[in-house]
Amino acid sequence: MSNIVVIAEVRGGQLKRPSLEAVTAALQLAAGTGGKVVAVACGEGLDAACADLAKSGAQQVIAIEGAAFANYSGDAWAKAIAEQAKGVSANAVLMAHTAMGKDLLPRVAALLDASVTTDVVAVAFEGGAFTAQKPVFAGKAILTAKSSKPVFCATLRPNNFAAASGGSGAEVTKVAAPAGDLLSVVKEIVSSSSGRTPLQEAKVVVAGGRGLKEADNFKLVEDLAAAFGTGVAAVGASRAVVDAGWRPHREQVGQTGKVVAPQLYIAIGISGAIQHLAGMRTARTIVAINKDPDAPIFKVADYGIVGDAFEVVPALTKAIAEIASH
Ligand SMILES: Cc1cc2nc3c(=O)[nH]c(=O)nc-3n(C[C@H](O)[C@H](O)[C@H](O)COP(=O)(O)OP(=O)(O)OC[C@H]3O[C@@H](n4cnc5c(N)ncnc54)[C@H](O)[C@@H]3O)c2cc1C
């Protein structure tokens, strides 16, 4: 009977949605192992987030809470989480493939003498072993990794699993954050994207490329994203426009940018280079708007509009705004 730990991510007291997606993956594994799912959160002011975790379907919630953990500290958090994972005899530890997940889970894995598979899109427990699937070669192939260590660790691509809900209310155990373990202290966090929907968590990504001709024309992209309503869509960009200084790097989608898997990805004036596809080809539905009918983006698109972005996008924005307002 193998128990599964989910490391939950909490920002400003709020549980991040990809953590609930990790609970879904953990529940899938637990159905095979016969074990339980234990969600572990670190920080200060965790009550609301733990209440959400308690309703997620996880059987136990552990809050490692205290002023010493008010801000993220990889070394101290990893140590505290690894202790809890050992305490509940975890054989698997999952976390979302976010900036924090990429930093924290490998640290936890090292303390548990485990390996980590990153950016995973499917997990399974078969024949007594944990397996993970992840896209490789810019998304052209899927690699299946089998864990040979006693503890399996994986970061999960956001927006790939459904968010868990419908639990009957798990017990929340509070553990005091150890104060003496901080090798480094985060003094201040300055958000570069306050008020924006995080790119990797957005249900809809509206992305623009060099076909928009100049930076100011990204207003078309922003207006279309806004038409979906507050908190639904985020703006993305190709590397060509990021390199040109039209958009910030945090919006870049692709091999050297962010990997996104929204329900809807709208690519406007983007050719569909392999490096761009690496960041968005697992989106549920892809819509491409390009005036070149032979643009490679149409090979991965579910719906393609061959036309001039400057005519098509305003009409689409108007139509979406009308639908969203009903
Ligand atoms: C190592 C490496 C890593 C890379 N990493 C990334 C990455 O992470 N992300 C990324 O995006 N790229 C990446 N690239 C760059 C990638 O190869 C492409 O150069 C880039 O994606 C092209 O951006 P684009 O599609 O905006 O521009 P272009 O390729 O110039 O395409 C512009 C498109 O706009 C269309 N168009 C023009 N006018 C209009 C109009 N009026 N209406 C509609 N359509 C129009 C054109 O038909 C064309 O298809 C990387 C490259 C390398 C070598």
Q: Are 163 and 20 in contact (CB under 8 A)?
A: yes
- Residue 147 binned pLDDT confidence (cut-offs 50, 70, 90): confident
Share of the chain above pLDDT 70, in %: 98
Ligand 1 pocket list (CB less than 6 A)? 209-211, 238-241, 252-257, 269-271, 273, 275-276, 279, 289-292, 295, 308-310
Query: What is the pLDDT of the chain when averaged over all its residues?
Result: 94
- Residue 324 binned pLDDT confidence (cut-offs 50, 70, 90): confident
pLDDT at 178: 87
- Stretch among 162-166, 167-171, 177-181 having the lowest mean pLDDT: 177-181
Please report the DSSP string for 51-71 in residue order: HHHHTTT-SEEEEEESGGGSS
Q: Averaged over 280-296, what is the pLDDT?
A: 96
Q: Is 173 exposed, middle or buried (0-12, 13-18, 19+ CB in 10 A)?
A: middle
pLDDT at 102: 96
192 pLDDT exceeds 70? no
- Residue 179 binned pLDDT confidence (cut-offs 50, 70, 90): confident
- Residue 194 binned pLDDT confidence (cut-offs 50, 70, 90): low
- Residue 290 binned pLDDT confidence (cut-offs 50, 70, 90): very high
Beta pairing, strands 233-237 & 285-290? unpaired
Report the distance separating Cα 147 and Cα 153, nearest Å: 9
75 pLDDT exceeds 80? yes
Q: Are 125 and 2 in contact (CB under 8 A)?
A: yes
pLDDT digits (tens, 9 = 90+) for 200-234: 889 999 999 999 999 999 999 999 999 999 889 99
Output the residue whose Cα is nearest ligand 1's atom 36. Answer: 211
Closest of 234, 231, 306 to residue 268, by C-alpha:
306
pLDDT at 260: 94
Structural domains in the chain? Answer: 3-181 (3.40.50.620), 199-324 (3.40.50.1220)
Q: CB 175: neighbour CB atoms within 10 A?
A: 16
Q: Averaged over 80-108, what is the pLDDT?
A: 97
- Residue 47 binned pLDDT confidence (cut-offs 50, 70, 90): very high
How far from 13 is each of 42, 46, 89, CA to CA, in Å?
10, 6, 28
160 pLDDT exceeds 70? yes
Q: Given phi > 0 = left and psi -120 to 50 = alpha, else beta, which region is 156?
A: beta
193 pLDDT exceeds 80? no
Output the residue whose Cα is nearest ligand 1's atom 30. Answer: 210
From ligand 1's centre to the CA of 267, what distance in Å?
A: 10
Beta pairing, strands 141-146 & 129-136? antiparallel
pTM of the entire structure?
A: 0.83
- Residue 181 binned pLDDT confidence (cut-offs 50, 70, 90): low
From ligand 1's centre to the CA of 104, what distance in Å?
A: 33
Output the residue whose Cα is nearest ligand 1's atom 11. Answer: 238
Residue 10's φ and ψ, nearest 5 degrees, are -125, 130
